[in-house]
Structure 1
């Protein structure tokens, strides 16, 4: 039976410009399966300081943070974990007696996937995007030993800053170069967006690449991932990233690490 919510139930939440259902379904499935007195709810806001103040004032245990709040929330927090301080991007807030600490579990998820997929360290990649998630991905690439990369971003300020900070090149558009690995860290191809059918790279570039990595998690099979599979390319998907980072958030909130089999069941339920 579903757990009865009481005054002692701990609330966890998410803040996103475009809330989805994955985190809510994933976290609540695990709370139920492990008989934990927690509940999770997704929110959006037009008043970020008030929303962060609410986390502090109401004793909310933690919050996931998505676009466009990953960098904007930093001045509103009390402390940054090393995972967030190094890249100045937060995707998780944990509250302890009103003290708000920011973490970045995107970074650890991407680093883990690069290792588990055995991506060669000498590969040349192009990463499209320069926002908070792009910082996490580019930093994970750098710290995993991938030295040859290009940041593709129309915004010269954020694009050049990210490239400079990670030791990569920068260019405003993908152009006609054909890197060995293509990485999309933009909303292109995102479900419900105005560019849901768009590709971050050309078909020719996908055809020439050895690896495709799309951080967009919904839909699971983005246009870029669909094309890559059609062409027989190895892929890393946003669906993989979202599960790994969500597990780490769950551990930060509850102190409990679920077994792998239960994580897979929760992920399957969340996608349903």
Structure 2
């Protein structure tokens, strides 16, 4: 045991299905230990059917809160008392905070994305972003980047079950922020290449590149990338994705996987629960070897 658990230990959860593979319990419990905080973070396999009872348990057990992951990020909203403004726009929750029985939903994925760039000296505010995807992580990135000052955003998605979500993301960004967003079909490769060519950053927030699609990438031709383009893949397993290999072949100077986003979204949730800053350098070195 990292910490000595006692009658005063504060419980935080992670509710998703499946979830036993998650690195979040290891990350948070090491951070609690490092700072000497009397908290414990446990993973619970909770699907949509079990979700109402699980959210009630946060209040009943006086838990400090919980992370929420798929398939519960949208389904959890009706069971909460409040949403922070960005989360209202995003329409998905990954963090719940319990303040004396009042449950507030937050989304820290977009915060983690922006912070991971900021700490490396990459400022995308006032710039153009090309973003592939319209799922939960993509939506959080799109909204947070727009709120933080990205000037222009071209969102690409296939004409699939996420197309309506992509349309909604564009509409709400244009309505609620100063960013100008446009929607594009990923099937139009000529348009895709042209938009990337005029962008400051290209971010793939799809599951392409992750198992079982680890040998695939939306961009296969290194000539699509300039050396001064920022290329970001939200996948962190494998550490070097196929997209990253293409970018490195093109000589792109700033290429990222999703590890930084994963750490800093966790750090944002950690701050909401404890009021303390997660020791991210320690976590990066001890847990992830970076």
> Do the structures match in fold with TM over 0.5?
yes
CA RMSD of aligned residues (A): 2.3
Question: What pairs with 1:12-31 in structure 2 (closer than 5 Å)?
Answer: 12-19=12-19, 20-31=21-32
Residue 143 of structure 2 is aligned with which of 134, 139, 142? 139
Q: Normalization by structure 1: what TM-score?
A: 0.87
Residue 158 of structure 1 is aligned with which of 144, 165, 169? 165
Residue 58 (structure 1) aligns with: 61
Query: For 1:122-161, what per-residue CA distance to the aligned partner results, in whole angstroms no more than 9, with x for missing partners?
Result: 33x3211112222211112222332332222233311111
CA distance in 1, matches of 2:65, 2:100: 11
Alignment partner of 1:239 is 2:259: yes
Distance change >3 Å, CA 114–CA 121, structure 1 → 2: farther
Distance change >3 Å, CA 6–CA 245, structure 1 → 2: same
Contact 2:84 / 2:104 at 8 angstroms: preserved in 1? Answer: yes
Alignment partner of 1:38 is 2:39: yes
CA distance in 2, matches of 1:96, 1:205: 52
Secondary structure of 1:139's partner?
helix
- Stretches of structure 2 lacking an aligned partner (at least 5 in a row): 175-180
CA distance in 2, matches of 1:228, 1:194: 21
Contact 1:142 / 1:166 at 8 angstroms: preserved in 2? Answer: yes
Contact 1:206 / 1:212 at 8 angstroms: preserved in 2? Answer: no
Distance change >3 Å, CA 199–CA 18, structure 1 → 2: farther
Residue 212 of structure 1 is aligned with which of 200, 218, 231? 231
Q: Normalization by structure 2: what TM-score?
A: 0.82
Query: In the TM superposition, what is the alpha-carbon distance from 1:93 to its structure 2 partner?
Result: 0.5
Residue 9 (structure 1) aligns with: 9
Contact 2:203 / 2:233 at 8 angstroms: preserved in 1? Answer: yes
Query: In the TM superposition, what is the alpha-carbon distance from 1:18 to its structure 2 partner?
Result: 4.1
Query: For 1:194-213, what per-residue CA distance to the aligned partner results, in whole angstroms no more than 9, with x for missing partners?
Result: 32332133335753582211
Query: In the TM superposition, what is the alpha-carbon distance from 1:162 to its structure 2 partner?
Result: 1.1
Distance change >3 Å, CA 48–CA 194, structure 1 → 2: farther
Contact 1:217 / 1:241 at 8 angstroms: preserved in 2? Answer: no
Secondary structure of 1:24's partner?
helix
Residue 230 (structure 1) aligns with: 249
Aligned length: 266
Contact 2:220 / 2:246 at 8 angstroms: preserved in 1? Answer: no
Distance change >3 Å, CA 126–CA 6, structure 1 → 2: same
- Stretches of structure 1 lacking an aligned partner (at least 5 in a row): none
